[in-house]
Structure 1
Amino acid sequence: MPLDLHEATSRRRAGMVDRLTADGVLTNVLLRDALLHVRREVLLPHAYVRVSGPGADPIDWRLLDGSHPDDQEEWLALIHSDESILLQRDGDPLDTLPRGPVTGGHMTSMSTYTPATIETLQALELCPGHSYLELGPGPGVSLALAATITGPGLATGVERDRHMTTFARRNLDRLGVGATVVEGDALEGHEPQAPYDRIHSGIGVPCVPAPWVEQLAPGGRLLTTLATRTPSWPGQLLVTRTPAGTIEAVLQGRPRGYRPMLGYRWLSALDHRARIKADPGRARPTRLAPPPDDAYGLWLAAAYLKPGLVRDFQAETMTIVAPEDDSWAVASPGEGTVRVCGPRDVWAELEELHARWEEAGRPESYTVDFTAGTGAQTVTSGAAPKALTWTLPTLAGIPQPRS
């Protein structure tokens, strides 16, 4: 690497770390040192940039090649920003990608935006000497950071895509952090190195696969996104195994989460956007003011107890759509009215759920019980008679990773 580029990347890393520290995102000293040590430019040698606006089909992209002088400034700024880095389109091989404009396809692998990576690794309380398993590591950014903290030979990633496995393995070897990437089904974990002190899933799952829990060491922590059919209200599940071997799990709503596993299709409000703008529906009175975006406990419950709903966050006022029922609700802030359309009264369902949520004590977190004996994973807000409760969907019917 030319000296000027080496210096530029070092400055970018230091600036990224200083910014994240000043913003209060980065608080862990070990992770700060790892972020300064891991050369992101090695793991993220290219990046797709979306050119098309929202709703375009097919989508126009532009591939930035970090080795090309004309791309380097934009590429360096992007990979050291807080944005997700798009790396793979339609599962393609990653060694012969054409620089410049491309059209169509869907992104099949990306590096998670840096604040989420930091939040995850800090929540896991990763320390030197811990054995670490990452499920769906993609290009290996968080895996490299974890390996830098744990020490060589203790961090393993399981990646289903053979092209990404080869890509990540080669780049991690160049870094020399002592991380391992194996090709396999992340839902099965990786038994050969079990048990693990820390397990992190970079893919959203509808429930926790049994092998993950079985491979968690006493005193261990497991962190994953729980996927539903809506991208609007994700949940983050922290599972711990006590020193005595019992399992405890806490589920919380989050503003963002990881993309779901292969086979999940998210609902979208996009196809209804123009129709809603043209005719938002009939007005009716309501006593429910639009709940705040950060009422995560409410919105998480909505994802499960009022399934089939998705929020259009680009709408001017709160708009919630049931796309498969051709129904929606458009709230009018401060006016005591809501507009509804379609056979499903979406707002009435939210009014009912909001009342139940308040009766349950406005819970912001939920416990998950793995001990029912039936394999079911039951979520509850507490022991009170009016507690909110539901059962997580199983993995049955979800397509397995392609060979």
Structure 2
Amino acid sequence: MLTDPLLRDALLRVRRELLLPHAVSKPGIEPIEWRLLDGAHPDDQDEWLDLVHGADSVLLQRDGEPLDSLERGRLSGGHMTSMSTYTPLTAEALQALRPTPGVRYLDLGTGPAVSLAYAAAITGPGDATGVERDGHMAAFARRNLERLGVGATVVAGDALEGHAAGAPYDLVHSGIGVPCLPAAWVEQLAPGGRLLTTVTTRTPSWVGQVLVTRTPAGRVEAVLTGGPRGHRPLHGYAWLTAVDHRSRIAASPGRPRPTRLTPPPDDAYGFWLAAAYLAPGLVRDFQAETMTIVAPEEDSWAVADPDGTTVRVHGPRDVWADLEDIHTRWVRAGRPGAFRVDVPEDGGTQHVASGTGPDALEWVLPASSAPPRQPA
């Protein structure tokens, strides 16, 4: 629910269509056929406006292509390398950060700079900076921000390094998911400041958000919470997928066995977040009719029967047994939905815990934020 009046005013004032003068429509799934919509063309305008002001991400760029001479019409092949985050997630992030006039704001992985523009409309000219790794996208964002006139700045650079030249910042927002908090981001956070980012695992199914605060005395505190959505991981990060197993699961769901675990609800965010770390290698197929969890690298899966008393399992790994164990531990820990993150200032290991005592759930975030690369 949107409760911040400054943010509400910014959402109404910023002309999103100036930042997204084109959009890519994807009419089908297989084979992939893209269609570039030109917002200035009368035949495209209605569909373009629906995308730009809709509740989904807006696809903008394939394979890091230049954006100053794109031609409307059908496209084929390639992979989308940049998009605009859909408005509900942007609004949630900015409301959590609570920008106000005069604060210094840093937007990491800024893309077409939509969230940066909303923040700049609140902070005022000169106080909002975005960092974008792709030079073509950075130039595209600068050009459109100039048309908008909110006084934001975009620099080309590695978002994982932040932007030391303008530090320290009162607010830092990352539009990319990272496996752990880069030390540079924490270093560049001012006393009293807040930092918000998605923490990604190898599964896209269960999302975590970390809110970092630096107290006026300089101490760093961080809380990780599960939720229904988050930003996509940084460029090159290899997500697991259940798609390749879908037809085999449909043809042969596996052997039935009794279960003591009724399929947990989707909004048991703390449980699912813990499962992403404590039972690594799993991904959920949200397109399946009943809850289906796959361990694709171990050729294993579990399909929960609707009655909640049996489950079908396949492969060398009993996927459902892992979830049964974690659920028991999660209940014993008090069903936590939030977890404390210890973030050493020297860039050391980042520990996560639901609390203290023998029943606490604990794990560590990866020591490096370098993404695993896609196979050649």
> Considering the TM-score relative to the shorter chain, is it more than 0.5?
yes
Q: 1:75 aligns with which of 48, 59, 64?
A: 48
Which residue matches 1:200? 173
Mapped contact 2:182–2:369 kept (Cα < 8 A):
no
Q: 1:125 aligns with which of 98, 114, 130?
A: 98
The 1:280/1:241 distance shift into structure 2, 3 A limit, reads same
C-alpha RMSD of matched pairs (Å): 1.3
The 1:396/1:189 distance shift into structure 2, 3 A limit, reads closer
The 1:239/1:372 distance shift into structure 2, 3 A limit, reads closer
Structure 1 position 100, deviation (Å): 1.2
Matched, 1:209 2:182: yes
The 1:102/1:381 distance shift into structure 2, 3 A limit, reads same
The 1:397/1:139 distance shift into structure 2, 3 A limit, reads closer
Q: 2:256 aligns with which of 259, 283, 287?
A: 283
Which residue matches 1:394? 367
The 1:335/1:396 distance shift into structure 2, 3 A limit, reads closer
The 1:389/1:160 distance shift into structure 2, 3 A limit, reads same
Which residue matches 1:334? 307
Q: 1:100 aligns with which of 70, 73, 77?
A: 73
Secondary structure at the residue paired with 1:199?
Answer: strand
Matched, 1:345 2:318: yes
Which residue matches 1:45? 21
Q: 2:3 aligns with which of 10, 27, 50?
A: 27
CA distance in 1, matches of 2:371, 2:311: 37
Structure 1 position 371, deviation (Å): 3.3
Residue type of the partner of 1:66? G
TM-score computed with the length of structure 2 as normaliser: 0.97
The 1:264/1:45 distance shift into structure 2, 3 A limit, reads same
Structure 1 position 98, deviation (Å): 1.9
TM-score computed with the length of structure 1 as normaliser: 0.91
Residue type of the partner of 1:30? L
CA distance in 2, matches of 1:215, 1:399: 25
Mapped contact 1:305–1:390 kept (Cα < 8 A):
yes
CA distance in 1, matches of 2:47, 2:326: 46
Structure 1 unmatched ranges of 5 or more: 1-24
Structure 1 position 373, deviation (Å): 6.2
Secondary structure at the residue paired with 2:248?
Answer: helix
Q: What pairs up with 1:125-204 in 2 under 5 angstroms?
A: 125-204=98-177
Structure 2 unmatched ranges of 5 or more: none
Secondary structure at the residue paired with 2:325?
Answer: helix
Q: How many pairs were matched up?
A: 373
Which residue matches 1:299? 272
Mapped contact 2:183–2:347 kept (Cα < 8 A):
no
CA distance in 2, matches of 1:62, 1:396: 34
Mapped contact 2:186–2:345 kept (Cα < 8 A):
no
Q: Deviations over 1:356-376 (max 9, x none)?
A: 111111111000011396700
Secondary structure at the residue paired with 1:303?
Answer: helix
Q: What pairs up with 1:312-327 in 2 under 5 angstroms?
A: 312-327=285-300
Structure 1 position 28, deviation (Å): 1.3
Q: Percent identity?
A: 71
Secondary structure at the residue paired with 1:362?
Answer: coil
